[in-house]
Amino acid sequence: MWFSGHVFERCVRVLNSNIRMPTFTVKRVLTRSEPQNITKLRTVLFPCLGQLFGPAQLARSVTLFIVLGLLMVVGAAAVNAQTLRARIAITSVAPARIRITGGVPSAATSLSFRNNYGGVLGLGERIEKLEVSNQSGESLPVQKLAPGEYQAAQKFTRFSYDVDVGVPSRPSQMSHVSSLSPEHGLLMLADLLPLATKDAGNFSKVAIQLDVPPGWTIRSNARSDGSGYSSDEPEKTVFMVGPSLREASRRIGLTKLSVITSGEWPFSGDDATKTGAEIIEEYLKVTGFMLKRDALVMLLPYPGESSPEKWSAETRGNVVVLLLGRRASRKTVLAMLEIILTHELFHLWVPNSLKLAGDYDWFFEGFTLYQALRTDVRLSAISFDDYLATLARVYDSYLASADSDTLSLLEASERRWTTSSSLVYDKGMLVAFIYDLMLSNRTDCAASFDDLYKELFRLVPTGQESANETIIKVLSEREGMESFVKVYVQSPDRVSLEPLLVPYGLQIQKTGLGTKLTVGPSLSKPQRKLLGCLGYRK
């Protein structure tokens, strides 16, 4: 059929200007928007279609045109899905500077950069020499409103700026924010690229070109096509760069684990991947859930002549960033690596594969710490005495917190980065420990702490359900556990281990060096069986 070009274009403009499209799917268009939109079609679009098709063909052609028009609008929205394109160039390693140039998907008047992340403040102050220009290449005046906040006099499409990516004054922050040294660098898009603004869009995708010094190599969890990188999750995208990167890989079922190291280590890459593979295999059994993406561990030396007790880590998406002291024997460093990875690799499942909504750090940090401790015992990374000693140290830390009896775990999660970071970890871990004891005791070890995770992944493998509601429901539906959850998760009640542990054959001793948690001198048969389920072997 021959179409009159100018008439067709005018009809599409009519369609675009008179039908408000939701930003979700065509299915929602046909259900939620149909009555109001069809009325508008009858009044403003049908006359236009009459000119295009002629009266005789209008009736049978209008449905096809509507569908085509809707697909065109949806297609236009998809093309405008806010892909931010940028080039990141390392311009100097001493001092550490990078230059970022790029363009916003649609013309904007403002740029905003993250000013804090993970307790690291003042990130916006690292942005320097910001310049913007319009489509014609004309430079436009831009004003700094606050750290990381900029306003241009007119709409711009291009930007360029420098970032000071020097190593943070506190080495423990290096796993959380971008930094660069002559030995290696971590470039994290979350604190380097502009954030979404009302007029600039949501930047749901990024396309990155990365220039590094000669002889340096690049590793990332972003997709690479040989000429650049792309990601649908900019906030979770990390680049590791350096002149001496090494990579070792191992496959666990359908999941590939890669460990990328910088510099010399007292163990081999195969040692590291074997350790990580054992942990991943264990968690596949615990959750019953197969990871959707391959896993990466980026391993860098903790600054200075540091022992393995010095470390800092964060898991983003499918990558674990870990700084670890390496000044010790192979056995000592590898043992610490295993202990750390039992916690960090579990984050590949919780929270990164659950995709629950809301603040539930009490669970994915506190409960994950406890699950990692159980896993360490199960994999013989630590003894049962080590397990009890760790819980005793956590208990001392919890008792020293000013908020130990003023905030519930739900409230502590909301304030994690302000006043209650340690409470999320300490109280969350202790509550998980008590829950494990009670659950195992009431079911005669028939139910396991692992069952909680199997149930969670059965319920919400991909959804955006409320995290706290979902988790509390799973915890509470176990026989007799509803009141426990109300007291220790939803209320600010203080955790007092002494009276709680007596029925299970455990006892608390106060010493000049702190709390000591031990197995009682004479265990009953049920107590011995219960503690045996947790790893006790004497």
Same domain for 57 and 93: no
Q: Given a cut of 60, is residue 352 above it in pLDDT?
A: yes
Q: Are strands 255-262 and 83-93 parallel, antiparallel or unpaired?
A: unpaired
Q: At 199, is the pLDDT very low, low, confident or very high (cuts 50, 70, 90)? A: low
Please give the Cα distance from 234 to 205 (Å, whole number).
7
Same domain for 26 and 145: no
Domain that holds residue 383: 361-534
> What is the rounded average pLDDT of the residues 460-477?
82
Least confident range of 22-26, 96-100, 160-164, 521-525: 22-26
Q: What is the pLDDT of residues 8-45, one digit of tens each?
A: 344 434 444 343 333 222 222 222 333 334 333 344 44
Q: Given a cut of 50, is residue 234 above it in pLDDT?
A: yes
Q: Is residue 354 part of a domain?
A: no
Q: Look at residue 463 in the predicted model and tell me its pLDDT.
A: 59
Q: Look at residue 414 in the predicted model and tell me its pLDDT.
A: 84
Q: Given a cut of 80, is residue 258 above it in pLDDT?
A: yes
Same domain for 514 and 366: yes
Look at residues 351, 434, 440, 429 and name the one whose alpha carbon lies nearest to residue 397. Answer: 429
> What is the rounded average pLDDT of the residues 122-146?
96
Look at residues 258, 257, 97, 69 and name the one whose alpha carbon lies nearest to residue 192. Answer: 97
Same domain for 214 and 91: yes
Same domain for 399 and 489: yes
Please give the Cα distance from 335 to 393 (Å, whole number).
19
Please give the Cα distance from 530 to 253 (Å, whole number).
33
Q: Look at residue 203 in the predicted model and tell me its pLDDT.
A: 74
Q: At 58, is the pLDDT very low, low, confident or very high (cuts 50, 70, 90)? A: very low
Please give the Cα distance from 420 to 413 (Å, whole number).
8
Q: Is residue 314 part of a domain?
A: yes
Q: Look at residue 11 in the predicted model and tell me its pLDDT.
A: 46
Q: Look at residue 355 in the predicted model and tell me its pLDDT.
A: 80
> What is the rounded average pLDDT of the residues 363-368?
94
Same domain for 387 and 311: no
Average pLDDT, the chain: 85
Number of domains in the chain: 4
> What is the rounded average pLDDT of the residues 496-506?
95
